[in-house]
Amino acid sequence: MPGSAAAGLCSTMKVDLLAIAWNLTSVVVTVVLHSVGTVLIVIERPRLFSFASHQRKVLRGQLVVTIIVIELLILHLIEIGFWGLCLSALGLFNNLRSSLYFAGMSYTSLGYSGAVTSHGDFSEVLIAMMGLLMFGWSTGILVTTVIRYEKVALGWDPASDRPLKPES
């Protein structure tokens, strides 16, 4: 009977409050980490570009963009590390290396990592969604950085696709 099958399924499904609390807390911590990290990167950007506005503008501007890419990469690695530590602390993996691998694979793609945990289904999806959102956020930071680079180092206005007008 379809009704009894559905009832049996509902009775076997349990709400794991620890997993729900962990996942929600991890989302909040990830957003806070990314927010603080990107604020620190953006606050530093004008100082870096003042360095790039002197002689050898193009080379110095490329160095600034490279520094910001590396800072964003480090920020994402910190976030992956955080998720891995949480998975390890919950005892979902035998060792820290496995939990970091799972977190990294989940965070950087929507693909299946090959690991199976008791909470892995929802956690993997949530970690993947957070990675997607945080990479999108970082892409916005990187795009504004490249636009600034084009203006400062190349004297180019990307909005009009023309050289900047000299200031009078």
Number of neighbours of residue 84 by Cβ within 10 angstroms? 23
Q: How far apart are CA 67 and CA 29, in angstroms?
A: 25
Can you give the pTM of this predicted structure? 0.78
Domains of the chain, by residue range, sit at 50-156
CB 83 within 8 A of CB 127: yes
Looking at the chain, the whole-number percentage of residues with pLDDT higher than 70 is 80
- Render pLDDT for 116-134 as a digit per residue (tens, 0 to 9): 555 556 778 889 899 999 9
- Render pLDDT for 29-83 as a digit per residue (tens, 0 to 9): 999 999 999 999 989 888 887 876 666 777 888 888 899 999 999 999 999 999 9
CATH class (in words) of the domain with range 50-156: mainly alpha
For the ranges 6-15, 26-35, 107-116, which has the lowest average pLDDT?
6-15
Select from 78, 70, 68, 64 the least CA-distant residue to 134.
Answer: 78
